[in-house]
Amino acid sequence: MLRRPRRLRINDATRELVRETKINIEDLIYPLFIVEGENIKNEISSLPDVYHFSLDMLDEEIKEIKDLGIKHIILFGIPHDHEKDFCGSEAYNDNGIIQRAIRKIKEIDSDINVITDVCMCEYTSHGHCGILTKGGYVDNDKTLEYLANIAVSHAKAGADMVAPSDMMDGRVKVIRKALDKEGFFNVPIMSYSVKYASTFYGPFREAANSAPSFGDRKTYQMDPANSNEALIEAELDVLEGADILMVKPALSYLDVIRRVKDNYNLPLAAYNVSGEYAMLKSAVKNGILSEGAIYESILSIKRAGADIIITYFAKDLAKMIKDNK
């Protein structure tokens, strides 16, 4: 007897019935870039349709996000240049840009799930993700104390979840201990467990004004050639108490997403990063690809094993999902 898989592709209803992978609006996290100043809503040149917002311009943005059904956001703060110093002190200032943004967003809509990026690169005068030694090497263990302070300050401001992205060894354990000590037992940690030293971060570094002033981040972010190492990093974060694991970038690392998902029984996030977004957005805007390529690319991340997807396409996807229902 001839097997006929095409029977289950005969029409839309049948295809939908047997569809293995679906993107839900609830799966998506939308990044927001918050800047100092007033009356600012400026499009980021390298990230079309993504904006810098000052605090006073967040009301309309949060309302739009909520109306689209997006429930989760992740915040990135950009302080004034003159506020940056060697230890990124504005990152853990209780009146810093992110801390004020958390409080403002919770005032606008307390139901929005606010996740915060815990790192130092946007706040240090040198643009690296930690405390430097005299030789310019990022001192892993000294940096941990500062990361813990940042996470606690975010929790105090009302963050629902913290997401350390620095790639220092041992930071999940130190952050968990600090949060628990301050009574924030219920604040989860979504760890950037597997973060590669990728060239796909370029547009983000412009958006966050966070490019290193010298050298690169290859001594703490992972070598793109390595896959087995991803399992080591994920395992350590599991043992240290991470609640959610993450792979970053996403599209160029679908194999890594699959390996991490197959090996660890924790929710898995993937970050569809700025370079991936910018390339595809440009192709769609220039008529090289149809808008359906956006959905297909994010579907591939979900199919690879990601439960949660951080993406600048969240608004576009939310509209597509609503239109198809």
Per-residue pLDDT of 137-170, as tens digits, reads: 889 999 999 999 999 999 999 999 999 999 999 9
Instruction: Catalytic residue, from 173, 195, 261, 281: name it.
Output: 195
Check if the beta carbon of residue 35 is closer than 8 Å to that of residue 43: no
Catalytic residue among 63, 106, 142, 248: 248
Residue 246 within any structural domain of the chain = yes
How confident is the model at residue 215, as a pLDDT? Answer: 63
6 lies in some domain: no
How far, in Å, are 93, 107, 118, 161, 309 from residue 186 at the CA level? 22, 21, 17, 9, 22
pLDDT score for 325? 54
Report pTM. 0.95
Which DSSP state fits 223? Answer: P
| Residue 7 belongs to a domain | no
Place of tokens 């919770």: 106
For 37, the token pair is: 């100043």
- Give the span between the Cα atoms of 196 and 218, in whole angstroms: 8
Convert the pLDDT of each residue in 157-209 to its tens digit. Answer: 999 999 999 999 999 999 999 999 999 999 999 999 999 999 999 888 777 66
Task: Look at residue 12 and tell me if it is in a domain.
Answer: no
The number of domains in the chain is 1
Q: Answer yes or no: is 164 within a domain.
A: yes
Radius of gyration of the chain (CA): 20
80 inside domain: yes
In this structure, is residue 139 part of a structural domain? Answer: yes
Q: Has 248 been annotated as catalytic?
A: yes
CA 143 to chain centre: 21
Task: State yes or no: is 319 an active-site residue.
Answer: no
* CATH code assigned at 211: 3.20.20.70
Residue 156 identity: K
Range of the domain at 195: 24-324
For residues 226-244, give the mean pLDDT.
98
pLDDT, position 7: 94
**Regarding predicted confidence, which is higher, 87 or 272?**
272
Whether 31 is covered by a domain: the verdict is yes
pLDDT at 208: 64
Question: pLDDT digit string (tens) for 126-136?
Answer: 877 788 888 88
